[in-house]
Amino acid sequence: MTNDVTNPEAHSEANPETNPETNPEAQVEKMFEYGYRKSNYGPDELVTDAHGNPISVVDAMLSAEEAAKAETSTPHLCYYSPRIPGNTGSAIRLCAVTGTILHLVEPLGFNLRDTKLRRAGLDYHDMAHVVLHPNFENLVESMPDSRIIAFTAHATKLYTEVEYRPTDILLFGPEPGNIPDPMDIMAGPHVAEQVRLPMRPSLRSLNLTNCASIAIYEAWRQLQFQGGK
């Protein structure tokens, strides 16, 4: 007979406090069993430094001034008032792997310390590609020499018909919902181009970060994938 004390699996099944099937807290704990991320990190411990030590998410981010001076191999990406933390978490990772700077314009529909951002597996180096702006005017004023290219279903020009520059800002509005799209932002005088992604007319839309990924990689392709391998 197997001794439950020396058999971890049997002990877990016998102990309802550690059995994920009977204890919701144990089930949540099991969800976080990947990488270095731990479920007992506090709300200000979203990202970790190079040594795995938790740090404040704000400490890892770029300032608007630093972003404006940075030399990039891809256009900048901007999410205006994003509402779904998982989309922003995926965009942060997208920008980290492509060397893109992500601008998030408030108001956000979530707290940057949301646990769903944590589940995207973000770390210090990912957040070093992110800038937070209190409003859209702050973005425009901080990057006066950049073209703003708005991605919107109302456009007639396709996204492939633009010759992208590293100084461009690719602008995406909020995820669809019960808040009207901010056309004063997506079609304002600060916008140099409006473009769209083609899709079948019977379907509503693509996921926000799927759209951003298509746009960033097309721009990066045009720029010869500089900085990549």
- Buried b / exposed e along 164-175 (16+ C-beta atoms within 10 A): bebebbbbbbbb
Q: CA angle 170-175-179, nearest 5°?
A: 120
**CA distance readout (Å), 192 to 141, 170, 188:** 15, 11, 9
Cα-Cα-Cα-Cα dihedral sign, residues 222, 216, 124, 167: positive
205 is in an annotated binding site: yes
Q: What DSSP letter does each residue of 66-85 carry, written as one string?
A: HHHH---SS-EEEEES---H
173 is in an annotated binding site: yes
**Integer distance in angstroms from the first to the last C-alpha of the chain?**
56
228 is in an annotated binding site: no
* Binding site residue list: 173, 197, 205
* Binding site residue list for S-adenosyl-L-methionine: 173, 197, 205
